[in-house]
Amino acid sequence: DRFIRASRRTKVLDVLTRAGISIELCGKGWETSPFAKHHRVHSAVPYDKVMGEMLGQSQIVLNVLPNYVEGSHERLLTGMLTGALGLTDANVFSQKHFVQGEDILSFDWNHLEELPHMLMDVMDKPLKLEEIAMAGQEKVCQEHTWKQRMELILKHFKLEL
């Protein structure tokens, strides 16, 4: 799992760095990474600060899934819930629950070179960025909160809250 995540993140950072796009990196170890000189690094940020304060100040949350074919990650959905545009690698879950370009942006690993263009395009169109972000926020509020997940689990096991 760690190898896959590290490999995928490295590929994404490499393509963004080569395109001259700088992003904010959060987490232990980034300060010694070769990418540190090209991106803004926040090392060892407490989880609650990232999930609350930092995501709440973000315009876009770039999510790289480890290998979740039919699932998502709390980071993406929480970022969208706070009003950031969700940008993630496409998978069965994102394609089933969201609409590309309407409430989420997804990139394809087979065409990773398109990611910088997708990112620059939406950054150059602030109204479009806000429109997608707000639609994503609404979708997450309606369908993807922890409360809704708990209700789904309880329903599956025929239990009540």
> What is the average pLDDT value for the chain, to the nearest integer?
92
Count the neighbouring beta carbons within 10 Å of the beta carbon of residue 93: 18
pLDDT at 43: 79
Residue 161 in this model has a pLDDT that exceeds 80: no
Q: Is the pLDDT of residue 61 over 80?
A: yes
For 90-107, write each residue's pLDDT tens digit: 999 999 999 999 999 999
More confident residue, 50 or 84: 84
Rounded to a whole number of angstroms, the CA Rg of the chain reads: 16
What burial letters (b/e) apply to 45-78, b meaning 16+ CB within 10 Å?
A: beeeebbeebbeebebbbbbbeeeeeebbebbbb
- The pTM for the full model equals 0.89
pLDDT at 160 exceeding the cut of 80: no
Q: What is the pLDDT of residue 68?
A: 82
Q: Per-residue pLDDT for 14 more than 90?
A: yes
Pairing of strands 24-26, 40-42: parallel
Task: Please write the tens of the pLDDT for every residue from 109-157.
Answer: 999 999 999 999 999 999 999 999 999 999 999 999 999 999 989 999 9
Question: What is d(CA 84, CA 50) in angstroms, rounded to the nearest whole number?
Answer: 13
Q: What is the pLDDT of residue 154?
A: 93
